[in-house]
Amino acid sequence: MTSQVAGAADEGWGTSALLGSVLSGLLIGFLLDRWLGTDPWFTIAFVLLGSYSGFRAMWRYAVAVGERQDEERRHARD
C-alpha cells in the first residue's frame, strides 16, 4: 500500500490535491478570521480540515491506482 501512495504522489495528482486542499483551507480560514475577528481559530480549523480532505483524496487515488494495477496483473497472468 505504501508504494501505491508513493506512486500517486509521483504522478502529481495526489500531491496537487493535498496542496490545493491545505491552501484552500488556509485561505478560507484566514478570510473568516479577518471578517469575524477570531484570529487564529478558523485558520487552524480549516487548515486541519483541508489537510484531512487532501490526505483522504490522495489515499483514495492511491487505492484506485493499486486496484487498477492489480487488475492489470490479473489479466496479464490469464
Number of Cβ within a 10 Å radius of residue 53: 18
Quote the pLDDT of residue 73: 87
pLDDT tens readout for residues 45-75: 999 999 999 999 888 888 888 888 888 888 8
pLDDT tens readout for residues 18-52: 899 999 999 999 999 999 999 999 999 999 999 99
Number of Cβ within a 10 Å radius of residue 78: 5
DSSP conformation class of 12: S
